[in-house]
Structure 1
Amino acid sequence: MPERQRADARRNYAHILAVAEDEVATRGADASMEQIARTARVGSATVRRHFPTRRALLEAVSRKRIEALCVRAHELAGAADSRTALVNWLGEVVSYCVSARGLAVALAYDGAESAQAHGNSCSDALEEAAAPLLRAAVEDGAVAEDVTVPDLITLAVGIALATEHHPDPGAQADRLFRLAVTGLSPRT
């Protein structure tokens, strides 16, 4: 939202965003733009003016969570065990994606919108924040050189989307994440 908007326009945006956050928390990525407009008591054109696409809506709703994940990546940067720092951060991304309905879809690749791996503000912010974590793990020989942050975000999104209808999505997502991190080899 541009800072140069009038105060009433900023309040209107904040109100619509609050309603959208509630709707996405309830219905996930399939939240109805029309229902958001009705609940906010504005026209659907007003909602679409602020959020021209579903992706724009989900990104706005997810912004605070994304910022928290970026802060966490900065906190973990420079940890003595670079692999553990990266895996812990990625586990938090998976956990957020599972608990914050709509976040996985906000991070997911949508080929119709971009030819890039992700191409949206949420994943762009995470990619920038996680780059030092991954770089350190690669430099330490703890992660393969060809792994990219978009690969890791895609892994987190895939796990979250695959488990969203499981009776215990958090536990199942954590189990699959640990399996992906440790591999299929038996534990010794």
Structure 2
Amino acid sequence: MRADARANHDHLLAVAGPVIAERGVDASMRDIARQAGVGLATLLRHFPTRESLLEALLRSQFDELTDRAAEVETAKTAEEALLDWLRAFVACTTDYRGVVNSMVSAIEDPESALHSSCVAMRAAGTRLLTRAQAEGVARTDLDGADLFALGASLAWLGDQPALRPRAGHLFDVVMSAVLAGPEEAARRP
């Protein structure tokens, strides 16, 4: 990509991020172009669909989550690693209002621009869950798809203004059901 095209691309992402954070994933592409000081055709040349724009915004965050899983996997206990990563997952997915629906759809649609990032992120969380299960500190009746669904549900709570104040407490409640000491984990199905 030419330097001027890269600069336009980066500028569009820099403008789109706050717009989508404020107005949600259904923010008007025309409004994003207007805020960026370009025509709609310029925005669409860089990002032909809303999903391609979301993918570009989220890819780096999802890649960071995937990398973070690898870091905490070796640096922390299994329980701490899973908690740390899931908190980061929830925080990341609440940066942009309404992104949870896009993620949930993308994980099931191999043609989606978000699919590969979501699959890699889910796989990273699955590794952390599997490690916690192997060490006897997590329920064994959950899998990576369940963890992704729980994380998406917790992120959805943070996306709802009326429920946002309860999101942290409910995260702790859910995680206390997922993680337990070895004795309690052994008693669970």
CA offset digits 1:72-120 (Å, max 9, x no partner): 2122113563133212211221133234445434422258x7179x961
Q: Is residue 4 of structure 2 the alignment partner of residue 8 of structure 1? A: yes
Residue identity over aligned pairs, in percent, reads 37
Instruction: Give the TM-score, by structure 2 length.
Output: 0.76
The alignment yields a C-alpha RMSD, in angstroms, of: 2.9
Kindly indicate whether the alpha-carbon contact (under 8 Å) linking 2:65 and 2:121 is maintained by their aligned counterparts in 1.
Answer: yes
Find the counterpart in structure 2 of residue 136 from structure 1: 131
Distance in 1 between the 2:91 and 2:2 partners? 37
Runs of 5+ in structure 2 lacking a partner?
179-189
Letter in 2 for 1:24: I
Q: What per-residue deviation string (whole Å, max 9, x for no partner) do you get for residues 102-146 of structure 1?
A: 5434422258x7179x96133123124334312212222333445
Instruction: Please point out which of 54, 68, 71 is paired with 2:50.
Output: 54
**Is residue 69–residue 85 contact of structure 2 (8 Å, CA) maintained in 1?**
yes
Moved more, 159-168 or 67-76: 159-168
Deviation at 1:161, TM superposition (A): 1.8
Measure the CA separation in 1 of the matches of 2:32 and 2:142: 39
Count of residue pairs brought into register by the alignment: 177
Are 1:152 and 2:147 an aligned pair?
yes
Q: 8 Å contact 2:20–2:27 — kept in the other structure?
A: yes
Q: Residue 20 of structure 1: CA displacement? A: 0.8
Give, in whole Å, the separation in 2 of the partners of 1:129 and 1:23. Answer: 29
Partner of 1:43: 39
Q: Return the structure number with greater helix share.
A: 2
1:1-188 equivalences in 2 (<5 Å):
5-79=1-75, 81-110=77-106, 114=109, 120-167=115-162, 169=164, 171-183=165-177
Asked if the contact 2:98–2:159 (Cα under 8 Å) also holds between the matched residues in 1, the reply is no
CA distance in 2, matches of 1:127, 1:46: 33
Q: 1:156 to 1:47 in 2, by over 3 A?
A: same
Deviates more, 1:63-72 or 1:88-97: 63-72
**If the length of structure 1 is used for normalisation, what is the TM-score?**
0.76
